[in-house]
Amino acid sequence: MPLSNSDLIVEDGTVVEDANAYITIAFADAYHELRGNSDWLNATEASKVAAIVQATDYTDTRWTFVGSKADEDQALQWPRDDAYDRDGIEQEDNVPTVVQQTVAEYALRALSAPLLPDPTIDEDNGKFITYKRERVGPLEEETRYSEARGRSSLRPYPAADRRMSASGLVITSNGRVIRG
């Protein structure tokens, strides 16, 4: 049975039980229509639902947000307590618009490729392979690795990542708030 709009359980800021999405199909459709993203507009409902859920998962994996979860048992990272954007505006009891827009951007990309592809690990050194090129004649091989052992780096999506970084709602690995 194909996915349908009813499979989206959208977090609206009230700690929706079992939420699996930060946006509706209608939100994503309006967002992409304004930007002329025909790949999104021409996608099936089932593809859009899957892409939105994947994009929500990716957002929650990709970013460490300011503040703390509003409820320790909530399914997603938003809503949050003590969350303020770069302008000092409180972002509690909602899912910030910038988070929704970023999810829409990631969802567009999820239509064409996995946002979190399974990493390839070099069995000899335990590092994640980030690039590999082989040539048959004359023989040549080049492999690049992630510096982190046992930890994959997430694929960047510059337009969406910049939007989120500029929001003031995310924290770097050293605990600093990113301010655009």
* pLDDT tens digits, 108-137: 999 999 887 666 666 677 676 566 667 777
Which three-class secondary structure state does DSSP give residue 61?
A: helix
As a whole number, the mean pLDDT across the chain is 87
Alpha-carbon 5 to chain mean position: 20
Proportion of the chain above pLDDT 70, given as a percent: 81
Residue with tokens 């930890």: 151
Q: Which amino acid is at 115?
A: L
Q: What pTM did the predictor assign? A: 0.80
* pLDDT tens digits, 93-102: 899 999 999 9
